Amino acid sequence: MKTAHPGPLVNTVHTSVINIGLAAGAWFGGIGILAGYGLRSPLWIGVVLALLGLVSLMPRSVRGAAS
């Protein structure tokens, strides 16, 4: 943060995105529990969300999209 010198708007958006991700993960975990998959379903949902996050960081050429 000190190196990039981001403005207040960048910090606000970054914090908002983190909070939205935390809320969505908890919400999806609750849906998994309510669907009858048990208390382990939030763990698997977390694994899937983490993998989706890692895929989004991969270069476009590795994901298979045409450059």
The answer to whether the CB of 32 falls within 8 A of the CB of 41 is yes
Q: Indicate whether this model's pTM tops 0.75.
A: no
The answer to whether the CB of 35 falls within 8 A of the CB of 41 is yes
Instruction: Report the distance separating Cα 58 and Cα 60, nearest Å.
Output: 6
Q: Reduce the DSSP state of residue 67 to 3 states and report it.
A: coil
pLDDT digits (tens, 9 = 90+) for 3-36: 667 788 888 888 999 999 999 999 999 999 999 9
